Structure 1
């Protein structure tokens, strides 16, 4: 993976993580969904700026990923995009004050090691 391909990967990961941030922020504004308020929540999604921004970020991430797929094999791009999971956990920890149990840290380290092995070129 060359520097341009790596930049596309990072762009896709960053915009997807940004999308998760805005979706979580918007979801917190909506509150919990119950059977009584499901219809109003679905309608609220259409007018909540954070949720629309989150969906837009996901769209940009998908575009970057498509451009990456024109340059690298799916067997490299697919597993590499799993870095979104790592950064999402870090986002949850630093922004939303979510706990990270040791088992989750171990899992994240496996993801990072796996991505390194997938993109490693001799």
Structure 2
């Protein structure tokens, strides 16, 4: 159950970040009230915020039941999924060295998840 919730949380976090990325695409950002309101009421940003709220509630539950030394390192799989989303949906170029790093994250999460 715990791993399933962590997986759902990872999906929601990356989905929220991806929506933010889409909502910020082509935007000129500055620290003005108008810009802030435009961001908050951008549908991609707003839905991303709602998804983050749900992810945070799930994370609270996971933290209340699991060991921090286990569940937090598993959250690093967010980086793996985000890289895949960047590559597949945002057409980002990922250099070979970054793929190696992504592989190491997966390997690290595997070892963290082992019992004993």
Same fold, TM exceeding 0.5? yes
CA distance in 1 between counterparts of 2:114 and 2:91 reads 33
Instruction: Tell me the distance in 2 between the aligned counterparts of 1:98 and 1:32.
Output: 20
Q: How does 1:64-75 map to 2 (within 5 A)?
A: 64-75=58-69
CA shift digits 1:56-75 (9 cap, x unpaired) = 11111111111111221000
Among 35, 38, 43, the residue aligned to 2:31: 38
Q: CA RMSD in A?
A: 1.3
Deviation at 1:47, TM superposition (A): 1.1
| Matching of residue 18 in structure 1 with residue 15 in structure 2 | yes
What residue number does 1:84 align with? 78
SS of equivalent to 1:121: coil
91-100 or 20-29: bigger deviation = 20-29
Alignment of 1:107-122 (within 5 A): 107-122=101-116
Shift of 1:96: 0.5
Distance 1:64 1:73 in 2: 15
TM-score by length of 2: 0.93
TM-score, length-scaled by structure 1: 0.88
Deviation per CA, 1:67-122: give whole Å up to 9, x if none.
11122100001110011111001000000000110111011111111111111125
Distance in 2, matches of 1:61 and 1:71, equals 16
